[in-house]
Amino acid sequence: MFEVEPLLMWYLIYLYVFIVSLVLSLVLTRAMIFLSHRFGVYDLPNGRKDHERPIPYLGGVAIYLSFLITIGGHMWALHEFRDTVGIVARIAAHVHYTAALGEKPAVLRALGIVLGGTLIFVVGLIDDMHSLRPRIKLAAQIIAAVIIVSFGVRLELFIPYRVVTWVVTILWVVLIVNAFNFLDNMDGLCAGVALIAVLIFFFVVSPLKQTLTAVTLLAMGGTLLGFLVYNFNPARIFMGDAGAMFVGFVIAALTVASSFYMRDHMSPWGLLMPVFILGVPIFDTVGVVYLRWRAGLPIYMGDNRHFSHRLVHLGMSKRDAVIFIYLVSFAVGLGATLLRYMGLLGTVTLFVQALGIFAIIIILMIADREKRIREQSGERE
């Protein structure tokens, strides 16, 4: 059993970090809306985009700065005041020397995440201002993943070969970065699904004394909630590639830095939790890539084949489609939290349940395809 006093202390810290990042995000997002109007930085409507008017496009800057100030500022405070304030010394010692995975201190792994995330953010911001070639963005994502691996953030997976774990980690990070970037196709969708995932991950890792990971998750959670206030339909600001890729990178890195399995009292099936909790972005990405490949289109070319667009085409409003996807994300992710306590039978049951949910989505997508075929046939007649 955990001691009551330290547990209460940490949950007060978690609440404090969440509120600080939330307030920062609200203020900075509002500031970015003003600056976007002031300097004319807009996402302009075009044939494949849903919005009908120019929307401020610096939301990614607000997300990045809110997260960086929250994490970086408090890391600096822990370093500066660890010898003068008793409770700060306790927190600093825990943060600097407690590591959930790997041999390197947790604070060093956090630095790697910040550095890799900064690279992703800068490349995304340049892409928002001046479109970059997809290969350049992919190269930046791989380099950012290599950075966190070199700082000790990597998957273990019971694999004795370090090179294999490095490759798997890099592939996972690139997948999730692009999954959230692809998911940013409707007001509030990417930020809301990311917020749900972050909060579920927090409630998984916080009881396991993975304090730095939990704090970082809540810093991102508060940042996302503050941004979502302005990004939910009808959106007053977009996060752009800078925000979507940065959010995806931080979430991917934190899933790698977290431990979802403890040998003494947890099922190894808990290692599958990130795949389930991030099931919606992964499913949408795999589905869209497959449809674009089948149509002979470049997989990086934006279109209206996303699950959210299909729901709207079937008759839902944009807001209802986003809320529906929120509920799917919550249902699949919440069930995944039980994996660490389940044996093979329970895991198979949960897997079948998740497949059932995604099967419903596939049926809706097929219905949308048939509706489109009927509409095209009617136009030809």
Which residues 6+ apart lie within 8 Å of 81 measured at CB?
88
Structure tokens belonging to residue 309:
């667009």
Task: Check whether 90 has a pLDDT greater than 90.
Answer: no
Stated as kind and residue range, the H or E segment containing 43 is strand 42-43
- Residue with the bigger pLDDT between 36 and 376: it is 36
**Is 149 strand, coil or helix?**
helix
87 confidence band (pLDDT: 50, 70, 90)? low
What's the 3-state SS for 332-379? HHHHHCCHHHCCHHHHHHHHHHHHHHHHHHHHHHHHHHHHHHHHHHHH
Residue 259 has pLDDT above 80, yes or no: no
Kindly state the average pLDDT of the residues 332-339: 87
Residue 55 phi/psi, 5° resolution? -120, 135
Sign of the alpha-carbon torsion through 105, 106, 108, 113: positive
The number of CA neighbours under 13 Å toward the Cβ of 86 is 0
Asked whether residue 241 is marked as a ligand-binding residue, the answer is yes
pLDDT for the residue 371: 75
Check pLDDT > 90 for residue 179.
yes
Please state the domain extents for the chain.
1-259, 264-381
- From residue 343, how far is each of 4, 71, 278, 359 by CA, in Å? 30, 37, 21, 24
pLDDT of residue 176 exceeding 60, the answer is: yes
Residue type, 183: L
Banded pLDDT at 313 (limits 50, 70, 90): confident
Asked if residue 95 has pLDDT above 70, the reply is: no
Comparison of pLDDT for 144 and 290, the residue scoring more: 144
State the pLDDT at residue 22: 98
Of 52, 61, 37, the closest CA to residue 240 belongs to: 61
- 46 known ligand binder: no
> What's the pLDDT tens digit per position in 203-249?
988 887 788 888 999 999 999 999 999 999 899 999 999 999 999 99
Closest Cα partner for 149 from 118, 177, 109, 122? 109
pTM: 0.90
Choice between 342 and 260, residue whose per-residue pLDDT is larger: 342
Residue-wise pLDDT tens digits, 69-83: 999 887 777 766 665
Higher-confidence residue of 326 and 87: namely: 326
Give me the long-range contacts of 351-358 (CB less than 8 A, separation at least 24): 354/276, 354/279, 357/328, 357/331, 357/332, 358/279, 358/283, 358/332
**Bigger pLDDT: 308 vs 50:** 308
pLDDT, position 69: 95
Evaluate whether 206 touches 100 at the Cβ level (below 8 Å): no
Higher pLDDT, 104 or 373: 373
Lowest mean per-residue pLDDT among 254-258, 308-312, 362-366? 362-366
Q: Which residues contact 174 (CB under 8 A, 6 or more apart)?
A: 138, 141, 142, 145
Rounded CA-CA distance 84/186 in Å is 48
Provide the pLDDT for residue 305.
80
pLDDT of 265: 55
Beta bridge partners of 55: 43
CB atoms within 10 A of CB 54: 14
**Alpha helices for the chain (secondary structure H):** 4-39, 59-81, 86-97, 106-129, 134-150, 162-183, 189-205, 211-231, 240-257, 273-277, 279-294, 307-313, 318-336, 344-380
Pair of tokens at residue 337? 């939290």
User: Taking 80 as the threshold, does the pLDDT of residue 91 lie above it?
Assistant: no
Query: Is residue 182 a contact partner of residue 167, using CB atoms and an 8 Å limit?
Result: no
Q: At what angle do helices 279-294 and 344-380 cross, to 10 degrees?
A: 40
pLDDT bin (cut points 50, 70, 90) of residue 143 is: very high
In this prediction, residue 325 has a pLDDT band, given cuts at 50, 70 and 90, of very high
Report the pLDDT value the prediction gives residue 367, as an integer from 0 to 100: 80
pLDDT per position as a tens digit, 42-64: 887 765 556 567 898 899 999 99
pLDDT at 321 exceeding the cut of 60: yes
Least confident interval from 34-38, 108-112, 190-194: 108-112
* Token pair for 338: 């039980």
Name the one residue in this structure whose structure tokens are 């209206």.
304
Which amino acid, one-letter code, is at 68?
L
Task: Determine the Cα–Cα distance for residues 289 and 338; give it in Å rounded to an integer.
Answer: 30
Mean pLDDT for the chain?
85
